[in-house]
Amino acid sequence: MRLLSCKETSRLVSQGLDRDLAFGERVALRVHLAYCIGCRRTRRQMAFLRRAVRRLSEGGVEART
């Protein structure tokens, strides 16, 4: 198994929000996230943005004018 770069990790984190990752992808992602705080933060930010957009699209937050 080769180690992922941060760029590859960001791509997999994003794809993982849209589809199930293959076993090898999940393992490589978890290994990288175990030692890279920057990518862990990026993953949390992407998850937060996904939840926020979902709430907005469901009408969970009223828009301010």
**CA 44/CA 51 separation, integer angstroms:** 11
Percent of the chain with pLDDT over 70: 91
Specify the pTM.
0.77
Residue 59 Rama label (left phi>0; alpha psi -120 to 50; beta): left
Give the start-to-end residue ranges of the domains of the chain. 6-57
Q: Note the pLDDT of residue 58.
A: 86
How far is residue 14's CA from residue 47's CA, in Å, rounded to a whole number? 9
Q: Are 14 and 43 in contact (CB under 8 A)?
A: no
Residue 63 tokens read as 């828009």
